[in-house]
Amino acid sequence: MESYLFDWANLLLRWVHVITAIAWVGSSFYFVFLDSSLTPPVDEDLKKQGVSGELWAVHGGGFYHPVKFNVSPPKLPEHLHWFYWESYTTWMTGFALFTVSYLWSASTYLIDKSLMDWQPAAAIAVALSFLAVFWLLYDAICRFFGQSKNGDAIVGALVLVLVCVASWLACHWFAGRAAFLLVGAMIATAMSANVFFWIIPGQKKVIASIKAGEPVDPIHGKRGKQRSVHNTYFTLPVIFSMLSNHYSFTWNHPQNWLVLILMMFAGAAIRQFFVMRHGWKLGRNRHPLPYALVGVAAIAAVMVWLKPAPASATAAAPPAKAVSYADVHKVLEQRCYMCHGAQVQMKNVRLDSPGALKQHAQSVYQQAVVTKLMPMNNSTGITDAERALIGQWFHGGAKTQ
């Protein structure tokens, strides 16, 4: 029953998390597009009001005319919409999902004893420290270098180094799937912290100055814009790390940390293409196609690198003798029944009877032989020979008689 309830918690939290993430990413992408597509106002009245840019758009059968005021509008409207709950709810649901999926069962999902044989409490503490330490170091980089000459380039280079180091450490300390997700959660935490500690407080200070009739310090707008731009470049790398847990060929690779870095780099490069494309259409910068090509080339290189070796003639040949249920039962009894037996049925899967095994034969083959996801993090020490035995049994008809 506990496993069943955790499956429901995982499903519902994942559902809410995806919904709120779509809202946050959607608003982020829209405002980046809006900022990059604004043109100087033509109407003299808009110029007198302090409008620095405008955009005409058509959508859903109507026309829209958003304008942006340089520093502050002449008068605050009665209703002002804030964009922050999308960020906060995305982080809260994501952290809850990470807790249910990984931290709650750290010994199963977070720890790979072949990498680090530590206690669950220590693994959880280190995993949580990734979220906090990355934010503190990233924030320090932005504070010290963000406003300097060539600040954007310096910050970008240092943050890249920071992400690379964190990726290497995570993949050498934690199980591969957990490591990829942890790096994504780490970056996503910095994104939400940007909103909580910088973007929203800066906007509140601007509004307070306007209400008090005081001059508005433009630094708040500049800082908010800087952190918003960082967030948009973080978006695609984070989404990749979240999706990668479904594809074991990425995080199961011996150099999985490099796979993660290259794919996140590709995502950031492709995002750069879309960001600059808006300005290019208005003649503000050169064509951004090289960024997209670099990202696509990085993905193509990873695809070639991870391509599985062709099966040898020996491996493709049929086994010398058929593998019986008794043969495969010995392997499953030693490697699988502790999680899928009479006492525990993880994911509501039980394998300790001929009928149950027959029902789940396809899944057993897929999980234990093809993707090698099970046993989780190979916690029971199944060997390649035993996986091959299961494969021979499956290809021989998965007989249980």
Would residue 107 count as lying in a domain? no
Among 305, 335, 353, identify where a domain stops. 305
Tokens of 41: 């106002």
Q: Say if 357 falls within a structural domain.
A: yes
pTM of the entire predicted model: 0.83
Taking residues 128-146, report their average pLDDT.
95
- From 387, 342, 396, select the one nearest 366 (Cα to Cα): 387
Q: Give dist(CA 249, CA 245) in Å, integer.
A: 10
Which of 305, 327, 358 lies at the terminal end of a domain, its last residue? Answer: 305
For residues 263 and 318, membership in a common domain is answered with no
Alpha-carbon distance of 283 to 264, in angstroms, equals: 29
Residue 23, in any domain of the structure: no
Whether residue 359 is found in the same domain as residue 294: no
8: pLDDT strictly greater than 80: yes
Mean pLDDT computed over 87-108? 92
Q: What is the DSSP string of 157-221?
A: HHHHHHHHHHHHHHHHHS-HHHHHHHHHHHHHHHHHHHIIIIIHHHHHHHHHHHHTTPPPPTHHH
45 belongs to a structural domain: no
- The reply to whether 156 and 285 lie within a common domain is yes
Residue 317 has pLDDT above 60, yes or no: no
User: Does residue 296 share a domain with residue 175?
Assistant: yes
pLDDT in tens, 209-236: 988 888 888 889 889 989 999 999 999 9
Helix (H/G/I), strand (E/B), else coil: 254: coil
Pick the range with the lowest mean pLDDT from 56-60, 107-111, 278-282.
278-282
Residue 56 lies in a domain: no
Task: Report yes or no on 355 lying in a domain.
Answer: yes
| 153-173 average pLDDT score | 96
299 and 323 in a common domain: no
pLDDT digits (tens, 9 = 90+) for 169-192: 999 999 999 999 999 999 999 999
The count of domains in the chain is 2
Higher pLDDT, residue 188 or 399: 188
Domain match, 293 and 341 both: no
pLDDT at 320: 52
Confidence of residue 164 (pLDDT cuts 50, 70, 90): very high
Same domain, 249 and 359: no
Indicate whether 123 and 270 sit together in one domain. yes
Structure tokens at 320: 């010398």
Residue 52 lies in a domain: no
Which residue has tokens 């290809």? 395
Query: Does 297 share its domain with 332?
Result: no
In terms of residue numbers, what domain contains 215?
A: 113-305
Residue 282 lies in a domain: yes
Domain boundary, last residue among 286, 305, 324: 305
Instruction: Report, as an integer, the average pLDDT of 239-265.
Output: 92
Q: Which pair of structure tokens corresponds to residue 106?
A: 């750290």
Q: Which residue has the tokens 């021989």?
A: 396
Residue 331 shares a structural domain with residue 231:
no
Name the 3-class secondary structure at 62: strand
Q: What is the pLDDT of residues 16-49, one digit of tens each?
A: 999 999 999 999 999 989 988 999 999 999 998 8
Regarding whether 339 and 219 lie in a shared domain, the answer is: no
Angle at 154 between CA 152 and CA 157, to 5 degrees: 105
Q: How far apart are the C-alpha atoms of 207 and 184, rounded to whole Å?
A: 33
Give yes or no: residues 299 and 173 share one domain.
yes
Cα 260–chain centre separation: 10
Q: Which two tokens stand for residue 6?
A: 């955790």
Residue 224, amino acid: G
